Structure 1
């Protein structure tokens, strides 16, 4: 695409004084350079010329002569055509423009379209034709100085680097033009001549902005390298040429999209006029169209360029295919895995599992020995100590160690079993929370995707309004409509701009929700990958196959039956109730027959006399010495007889809890069955909506195109065009959201059955599908 602007902006055709008596017209073409990309365009131009001229003459085209940016060769090529049987000369390119424009007279008609922009033409303000026999110009609204004005309003640069072809300063008074311009500005400039394969990174070190006035002769790789170098330095950039440069990564341009047909038709009409006897000097030299500011939003984010909402009414925001991704782009799988790994709510649920594990450890510790050690010092009345015969000294210090070991306890055993089941129930509570979080992740993803698409569609709608405003302006200028139409579209433009701002903010809010779910800093710049049915990660979500099963009255009941069974089998809510039921039943057993089971425990104690002194510390003669240490061991058996009727109350409570759990289980099973049936009906609706929205959008687009053309011709009123535009906007939104709604409903079904395909490997997914297929076949 790099040479489209070259062909469209530089083509110049000259034909003068050619009589209708000639039946064959030979056209010679001069070019600075060409490429494989310009050949199809040249072919299109030739066909346009032949189509417009029709039967007036037989058109023959000579081989294109290129000068390779060489002045001497350009002169030779021009003289070659002058001295040949060429009847008309089409010349494009800056070198050809400069060479031919210096000629004093023109023996053959010439149409000149060069890259030397309007800054270098000195035609009087009111002059509309060349006024020179046998030559006409096609002057497009290109201007370095006007571009620099727009660039400065977009970014108040202090020193701009102007990238230019290395040979141009020697051929055009570029330095004088820029010196005069910047003499009235606070900013300064520096010229950066560009040669093939030149690395200009060091030339950009002392500038804060870049104005690109060349690059059309670079191939895609060279141009991408240039853009990457500029953006890597985070420099705002502005292209003097078409929007294609913006699409390839340049920040902005004030040139509109290249209307190839418009340029080619103008050239063909000029040739037709010359053949019919009009001198080229009488043909209009200006090719008028409105400039349009375009900004690459991705580049703006990449270089940290602030985008203001006030720009929306005057600028088109686009994204280039060659732009590098700004921030992290997440697929739905990335978000789902990120939620499982980092979501704070799930982290809190995992802590609940850890706490239940601690409760189980506490329950099991009942069977661990309880050992205590103690020491005490005693002072006894010396009179009492003296008569104790050494049994109770005045001063004494002793210690003891006590051991208690439960051998069997129905209460401890029941507590362990109950704690185990409660821990498993807590794990199922987490599993349910994880499934809910995965669904929340899916909802957040598709919500963001819908809002992202809404931004794109609102932007497209804004461009349609701008186009309609242009048509209204043209109709008003031609007297075909009143100013009220223009004012109505200006009002519509303001409303559409506000809608786009709202859509952008809603999209950012959706991205904030994703960041929160993934425990990212809220300000983290992210994007999300697109999702298409039957493509990428959703390759197996083939709604057409699903529709055939749902639409078959024989197959649908079996599918619903299978999904309900799977849902009940996988439901963590039912598993949670099951574990709570087991815990309740164990509690009931303990408070029923378990109360008659005695608790058996082992007890032991060892006592040691550490020191004795004072009166009574000496054993009289004839008395045996008491041992320093003594011990005892015993078995304790206890059986509660009556505990304030608490056992009966606890048993009754356990029975009520069991009945409650049975009711909850029945309710959950009923809810699962209803959810599966309801979601499947929603999927049928979504599938139908997908098919209908396709037809609706195509019809709305065709209607809008027809209505725009009819309005441009004054055949329909303004309100009909607005209705067509609104209908197309709604149809596009419906088409875009239909696919996402279906996929989101699929995720809701997966939550209902407790199985997310995207979170399981291919083997498990295939096993699931085979079981479903076999189940349906067995039922039919």
Structure 2
């Protein structure tokens, strides 16, 4: 029995191995392309890479070098290459790259092996098989691309009006697919304009010369044979003639100087991926004739602003709302700013803080002024006088008729409680002024940080609105594909066009809000309100990276941690609050006033004084020593001096001293009430800030989860809409839900960051942005506080 079981299991294992070997057989894919060109190797390798990536693991796909055939830009050679590969036993599948090659192979109806053709421009116009969004031809799958010329013309005309268009196209493709020539006639009729087709081979100068002189716009289609250097010559010549240009190839041409394109830069990548998916499904057993031929090109407007300035064109608001602007001078010239720079610049330039600094400087002078009576007081004076002669004669030499004297006076307080109190009080008041200035500084830092975060928030919302507009564009393309394959009606296209108008308006509103936040930031920085700047945080998808340290968030994961953090922040805030220090300094000044009022009843003012007077000159009557008869009296010399000590104590001031004492006591009592009130307000402010982060921090994850879920739902509904399972209403609802969820996710992060700034302001220190040593010391205190709380909880 055991032997039988082992034999059965062995046979099953062998069958699985053999099945996997059979399933993982080597698949040889041949390639036919229009002809060699500078662009082709890059495009070919892109298709090879995507097919290999899609099939790797399940199948081994190779692209034999001998099975890669160039059509050499000749229809007969292209058909020969197709015949050879379709008949070759060494080729399992055929990949056709190139507009002419795809057109030729799709005209056939019998295929012995799977064929995948890219670059079909307009299947119906070209007379190719179309059946409910597939080719309907066994073993034939093609991808229809670049079919909406009308939308390109509409966008082009929205940027700049024109009536005479030069359509630059590859001459070979025009001859190979004559049906495409009707596109020019159709555009001419639908848009009431003259369209001239300009064939191009390998000379940009020749193409430029063939553009009619009266043309007022140029439309560049795919021109694969034109070398890059020649293409740049062509574009430079178009711009020199001040002609607006539009490229169907995409952003890469806009980077080379073309004015505008709506083709996303990853179009060829998605095209290659679509072909790779179809190859994989064919290998899994699906007939290529039953695979979708549809391809949503999408639309991503790109404008070269340097070209626009050179040719004198500037797009309107609606166009700018959804465009990527290359070489935008306004963006290049913008100064860079980050949150730390914003804080520092606000402290250096804010007018409120400048005024507070002047108050502190004036207070420092007041302190010196109050100190000055305690130091020696020295003065000099001079006097020249003349009196009448009889009075001088009667003075017996005490008052000469003409006298010039000079004096030097000096005084020094030995003790004056009033002077010392004035100095002490002024020092406390200066401390109060400095703490008031520190409070203003904290307010400015918070205002600058919050304003900067609001700029980032507005930019994030603007980005989300732009992404929603881009998604709406993609859904419009999906609706057009549904109309083409008969799965939807034209009303869906009109509905999406209406959605695009609303999305554009929302983008413009978001941009206006962003400009308002920039003006508010500049106002705090005392810069011109209209001056633009570029935040250094270019990736708005991770706003939390703006924090230099994330250790604090480790204490926000549950209610217990938040409670401990709250208590610690209250203790820190009450100890560091400049508002409390300000009023405590005022209380100290008032207490000294009370001491002064008490001492004035019994403490005298004692001072030393001295005076030296020198007679420089005297004359006239009374200038000589007086005489009695023949006796000449001796006179005094020319130097007089006086020195002494003085003490004074008021005995009665009409009750003024007692009233001053009473007033000082009442003012101190008021300050004590104010201090308690301020302490309560500070604690309430800290609690309020902590309660905000208690909600906003976990709200980040919840909002992100909601946005992720809305995104997954949108993906499912979009897929169902494409397959005809869901309606346009379902898709619009899913898209709006994703839009709102993404906005809420962005707001959640910035709400938390702004709340965190409020937490730091309420504690009197922006510790997260402090130097590393200060931040580490702050975190050490927090860790110690948490450890002590946990120890007490275990003991209790």
**Cα deviation, residue 512, structure 1:** 1.9
Structure 1 pair 473–78 and aligned structure 2 pair: CA distance change class (3 A): closer
Give the Cα separation in 1 of the matches to 2:161 and 2:493: 32
2:529 pairs with one of 509, 518, 522 = 522
1:377 pairs with one of 384, 404, 424 = 384
Partner residue in 2 for 1:461: 468
1:39 pairs with one of 45, 48, 52 = 48
Give the Cα separation in 2 of the matches to 1:708 and 1:491: 18
Is 2:69 the partner of 1:63?
no
Give the Cα separation in 2 of the matches to 1:492 and 1:715: 21
Give the Cα separation in 1 of the matches to 2:104 and 2:408: 117
Partner residue in 2 for 1:400: 407
Secondary structure of the structure 1 residue equivalent to 2:547: helix
Is 2:571 the partner of 1:565?
yes
Give the Cα separation in 1 of the matches to 2:304 and 2:355: 39
Is 2:717 the partner of 1:684?
no
Give the Cα separation in 2 of the matches to 1:143 and 1:647: 96
Structure 1 pair 199–374 and aligned structure 2 pair: CA distance change class (3 A): farther
Give the Cα separation in 2 of the matches to 1:531 and 1:500: 18
Tell me which of the two structures has the higher relative contact order, counting C-alpha pairs closer than 8 angstroms and 6 or more residues apart: 1
Give the Cα separation in 1 of the matches to 2:349 and 2:308: 27
Partner residue in 2 for 1:128: 127
Partner residue in 2 for 1:551: 559
TM-score norm. by structure 1 comes to: 0.73
Please, what is the CA RMSD of the aligned residues?
Answer: 5.6
Give the Cα separation in 2 of the matches to 1:266 and 1:389: 135
**Cα deviation, residue 151, structure 1:** 6.0
Moved more, 428-437 or 268-277: 268-277
Give the Cα separation in 1 of the matches to 2:541 and 2:61: 51
**Cα deviation, residue 585, structure 1:** 0.3
Is 2:412 the partner of 1:410?
no
Structure 1 pair 615–536 and aligned structure 2 pair: CA distance change class (3 A): closer
Partner residue in 2 for 1:644: 654
- Contact 1:605 1:633 (C-alpha < 8 Å) held by counterparts: yes
**Cα deviation, residue 302, structure 1:** 12
Partner residue in 2 for 1:604: 610
**Cα deviation, residue 382, structure 1:** 2.8
Is 2:214 the partner of 1:184?
yes
Partner residue in 1 for 2:132: none
TM-score norm. by structure 2 comes to: 0.72
Give the Cα separation in 2 of the matches to 1:60 and 1:236: 38
Is 2:574 the partner of 1:575?
no
**Cα deviation, residue 462, structure 1:** 2.3
Partner residue in 1 for 2:31: 29
Structure 1 pair 476–28 and aligned structure 2 pair: CA distance change class (3 A): closer
Moved more, 263-272 or 388-397: 263-272
Partner residue in 2 for 1:8: none
**Cα deviation, residue 653, structure 1:** 1.7
Give the Cα separation in 2 of the matches to 1:301 and 1:672: 56
Partner residue in 1 for 2:334: 327
1:699 pairs with one of 697, 706, 709 = 709
**Cα deviation, residue 433, structure 1:** 1.6
Alpha-carbon deviations, 1:42-100, whole Å to 9, x = none?
4268799x99xxxxxx998533767999989x979959869965667544369x96999
Partner residue in 2 for 1:634: 644
Is 2:654 the partner of 1:654?
no
2:680 pairs with one of 670, 674, 685 = 670
2:317 pairs with one of 309, 314, 318 = 309
Give the Cα separation in 1 of the matches to 2:747 and 2:784: 34
Secondary structure of the structure 2 residue equivalent to 1:596: coil
**Cα deviation, residue 474, structure 1:** 5.7
- Contact 1:301 1:326 (C-alpha < 8 Å) held by counterparts: no
Moved more, 591-600 or 325-334: 325-334
Structure 1 pair 109–677 and aligned structure 2 pair: CA distance change class (3 A): closer
- Contact 1:312 1:497 (C-alpha < 8 Å) held by counterparts: no
**Cα deviation, residue 155, structure 1:** 6.5
- Contact 1:113 1:139 (C-alpha < 8 Å) held by counterparts: no
Structure 1 pair 375–164 and aligned structure 2 pair: CA distance change class (3 A): farther
Structure 1 pair 204–348 and aligned structure 2 pair: CA distance change class (3 A): farther
Partner residue in 2 for 1:11: none
Give the Cα separation in 1 of the matches to 2:102 and 2:564: 81
Secondary structure of the structure 1 residue equivalent to 2:738: helix
Provide structure 2 residue ranges, at least 5 long, that are not aligned to the other structure: 1-24, 130-138, 174-198, 792-796
Provide structure 1 residue ranges, at least 5 long, that are not aligned to the other structure: 1-22, 52-57, 246-254
Structure 1 pair 146–113 and aligned structure 2 pair: CA distance change class (3 A): farther
Secondary structure of the structure 1 residue equivalent to 2:414: strand
Structure 1 pair 594–735 and aligned structure 2 pair: CA distance change class (3 A): same
Partner residue in 1 for 2:265: 244
Secondary structure of the structure 1 residue equivalent to 2:265: helix
Give the Cα separation in 2 of the matches to 1:477 and 1:201: 34
Structure 1 pair 385–773 and aligned structure 2 pair: CA distance change class (3 A): closer
Structure 1 pair 372–687 and aligned structure 2 pair: CA distance change class (3 A): closer
